[in-house]
Structure 1
């Protein structure tokens, strides 16, 4: 009897063992499947690098959680040991969660982890103090009515395209080094500088204040600042303003990330007029904040409001702020309205959430529209449309869409028709940046790598040089690159080959902001610091702060 009882005990425990045997290879199979999925994803050519990084994190996290669940419920290890190991792991995770926070992402969707109690850089800054001599009445003077041929008065420059033809940079930065004039902390945001005369204006976030600040361009001294209560925050997109000020006829036009369109007096930053675009046009904010820089043309201030019922694109009288016209029904994107002449008609071309539309300048009425895939809460559009010749338009974006070339035709009336000449999903995948055109070739940062594409056939000439999701500016026959890492590089704009001529570290930290070049003065910034460098020139310029600025002065 004793022997029979002894032999019967294993039979009562047997039902649980086959299940454990069936699952004993689960970890190996799970890890193998995860590795296969990662390999397949990273070998998929049409999937952007940021999408790969974004998918990799939850895939690895899910794998770890499943392995943890298997260990806890199916591993066969003694329960006390399982609970101790799992409890210890959860304690470590909890400690890390309490000690660290997500500090943002790079353009490739790589997360940045920072200590939880570390304040954001802009929260450590005090309010800027005006340092120029006051005028009568106690306000300070900045004469933004005095212009020069080398001003950079708005987003992407004087022509609202990142192209300058009146400055000739010296190509050898080893023989003639860029000279640092000033470098200092600045408030948060992705706004760029608008430069007119001696002054540089930008938007920034300091604590709970959205600010417009006027600096002396060559010294970095604050002339005046304007502040509004509010703070826009986004884990993916960062904090603070996104748009760049537009300086026009001595006044400054800005759009806040929360949709406030404001006109300021350039002399002292006082408010001339202001509108709440979201409230007035019955729309809502975008997931990553309003980033459209105001277009000022023919005494009209034009912005994308994104409202329905004829309130998508709106124009206000520049001097008085009275609504001049509104039109369209499309949701806004993160692009800015652009001025173009297509088929002989001056028009405002705007990339919306999922359409690109040409509006008649005089009254805003749509002249043509073409689909352009996107969603302002996911695969957003941020790159500017670029007119090519008199009847073509180049479009580009990231998120696997790539680029396409449109041609427009007219039937003799104002109505135009758009047709796609070619589409290239694998080329010019610009996510946060814009392209430049030179000699029938287009250059841009495609997935963070500089690329040259032949415009006529949509054929890649070369793709080389990783600069991240930075910004570019064509200066003559040279491409000035503001890399995402804060470096500034100089590259030949030649379809024959990629050739970098020089580079230097201009800023530290993630830099998505566009550079501004006024004569020899390069003003750069990111969400933490700003700087001004004097670049060497091959030809002198006259009328930029001094009587004459020669190219041999920097580094001397």
Structure 2
């Protein structure tokens, strides 16, 4: 019996050891198999958990004397503490390695590299070149995500058969930090970027990359303006929003809330508002990112306000600042405000619902529909949760809207109905197979295509169920557009890919080695011109004409 008891003890002891060793790979497998948003962090956390369990196992079952075991573990823990202090002394946190939020560090005492983009001379309005020809093959793309703000170019004039007609690179050059994209009108391409402590709105000649003008908002570096939290640094430096061009005016929203109206020809400032400071609210922890929405019919430009952060000093505890703010196009005077419950990082859009044009906004804790002229709320769908919502609301028929978010929040297909002036909203389905982080879903012929937690996924719009998924991690937390009946995907690592809108299987038809650093910026297609950029460099391609 004594030997049997000894055998049982040994089996139990080493079974626990096997469990300790298996914990890390099992946790990592489970997180990646379910595409959980925390999976990249689990690559760090799971080994740490396993090491802790192994230490406990050794303290309980180790062969050495109890005092020796604890002494050894004491030295081990002391070594870990010392190593941690040395690491913290030598290295500083420098944001994320990817949209998976894995940390990046840099040597604390490394020499500061000169930002090539910051050395470019700023062109003042009075010296701006105005004789900019409109190149052959250009079609205006005056706002974020194209003509309608949904990432769809229904009838492109360019060929995306890159194997037969590779893109012609017109120019490649350094650019300031930021996650802004381009707005293109005529021969001009306008974007936003960081140079030193200043945020800039910059206008380049489309075909040459020559800087035509630059408007500077001095001392507006986001991480200096924001509370220096991990989240602030994780999101990186620079503007997040993309300018909107309307007529001869450029509207831009900086990461610290500065809303500018500029002259398209020269960059001269016409008016400025600050949607954070001027309205007595706190800066969102990830910075302002929504693109300005111009409503020509009502002579308005609409932007989002602060997120649902604590009320600023001097305001009641219930105050959160306006969720949406409308300004007069000509003067910049406030026209209406919608208080709501706090903004998100998505951009408001005009969407036709049940025969009526509405302003639809994905907010911090809900989705709302509004009268564009007054901001009056028509309907609200509660969508609570502390995580940021970035994706655009996408129309999915005459009375349906698709909304999606990351961090396992998932997506909803919403049904909006009107009955004798009363509006209702109900979810048709909820799915965790469509979770977009920095991008938005694309709908084509009843099928949704989206970068679901960094993995391209095809989803049936009737059921919300996944049809197929591309190889894991192929495009990361990049961006996607619909060009005709093909997907144009900007991979997070910098490549540009063309993928069939094929509901049966994943088919990639071409790739272009466009950029070489982390890219969260959305590509801009302007007729036969394709502009891509990140926080380091920008490239302009001219595409072959579609036959």
In the superposition, the TM-score normalised over structure 1's length comes to: 0.83
- Against the structure 1 CA distance between its residues 36 and 321, is the aligned structure 2 distance closer, same or farther, given a 3 Å change threshold? same
Alpha-carbon distance, 1:338 to partner: 0.8
1:524 aligns with 2:532: yes
Q: Tell me what 1:420 maps to.
A: 427
Secondary structure of the residue aligned to 1:39 is helix
Structure 2 CA distance for aligned equivalents of residues 509 and 68 of structure 1: 39
- Against the structure 1 CA distance between its residues 305 and 86, is the aligned structure 2 distance closer, same or farther, given a 3 Å change threshold? closer
Tell me which of 165, 176, 195 is aligned to 1:176: 165
Structure 2 CA distance for aligned equivalents of residues 310 and 155 of structure 1: 25
Q: Tell me what 2:100 maps to.
A: 108
- Against the structure 1 CA distance between its residues 406 and 45, is the aligned structure 2 distance closer, same or farther, given a 3 Å change threshold? farther
Structure 2 CA distance for aligned equivalents of residues 412 and 244 of structure 1: 38
Alpha-carbon distance, 1:64 to partner: 5.0
The C-alpha deviation readout for 1:249-288, integer Å capped at 9, x for no partner, is: 1111111111111111122222111111113323211111
Structure 2 CA distance for aligned equivalents of residues 456 and 354 of structure 1: 25
Alpha-carbon distance, 1:97 to partner: 2.9
Alpha-carbon distance, 1:180 to partner: 1.2
1:261 aligns with 2:276: no
Q: Tell me what 2:305 maps to.
A: 305
The C-alpha deviation readout for 1:495-515, integer Å capped at 9, x for no partner, is: 122211010210011000000
Tell me which of 242, 248, 251 is aligned to 2:249: 251
The C-alpha deviation readout for 1:388-413, integer Å capped at 9, x for no partner, is: 22211111111112222111111121
Alpha-carbon distance, 1:140 to partner: 3.7
Structure 2 CA distance for aligned equivalents of residues 265 and 40 of structure 1: 55
Q: Tell me what 2:438 maps to.
A: 432
Contact 1:469 1:512 in 2 (8 A): yes
Q: Tell me what 2:393 maps to.
A: 385
Q: Tell me what 1:534 maps to.
A: 542
Structure 1 CA distance for aligned equivalents of residues 290 and 521 of structure 2: 13
Structure 2 CA distance for aligned equivalents of residues 176 and 145 of structure 1: 23
In the superposition, the TM-score normalised over structure 2's length comes to: 0.84
Structure 1 CA distance for aligned equivalents of residues 76 and 425 of structure 2: 63
Q: Tell me what 1:289 maps to.
A: 287
Q: CA RMSD in A?
A: 3.2
- Against the structure 1 CA distance between its residues 157 and 119, is the aligned structure 2 distance closer, same or farther, given a 3 Å change threshold? farther
Contact 1:189 1:204 in 2 (8 A): yes
- Against the structure 1 CA distance between its residues 156 and 123, is the aligned structure 2 distance closer, same or farther, given a 3 Å change threshold? same
Secondary structure of the residue aligned to 1:53 is helix
Secondary structure of the residue aligned to 1:485 is coil
Alpha-carbon distance, 1:319 to partner: 1.2
Alpha-carbon distance, 1:217 to partner: 1.3
1:332 aligns with 2:343: yes
The C-alpha deviation readout for 1:136-167, integer Å capped at 9, x for no partner, is: x5444376999997111110011111011231
Secondary structure of the residue aligned to 1:527 is coil
Count of residue pairs the alignment pairs up:
508
Secondary structure of the residue aligned to 1:230 is coil
Secondary structure of the residue aligned to 1:96 is helix
Write the mapping of 1:16-27 to structure 2, written as runs, cut at 5 A.
Answer: none
- Against the structure 1 CA distance between its residues 150 and 70, is the aligned structure 2 distance closer, same or farther, given a 3 Å change threshold? same
The C-alpha deviation readout for 1:515-535, integer Å capped at 9, x for no partner, is: 001111110001111111122
- Against the structure 1 CA distance between its residues 66 and 359, is the aligned structure 2 distance closer, same or farther, given a 3 Å change threshold? same
The C-alpha deviation readout for 1:197-232, integer Å capped at 9, x for no partner, is: 111111111111111111111111111111112211
Long gaps (5+) in structure 1: 1-21, 540-556
Q: Tell me what 2:271 maps to.
A: 273
Contact 2:31 2:38 in 1 (8 A): no
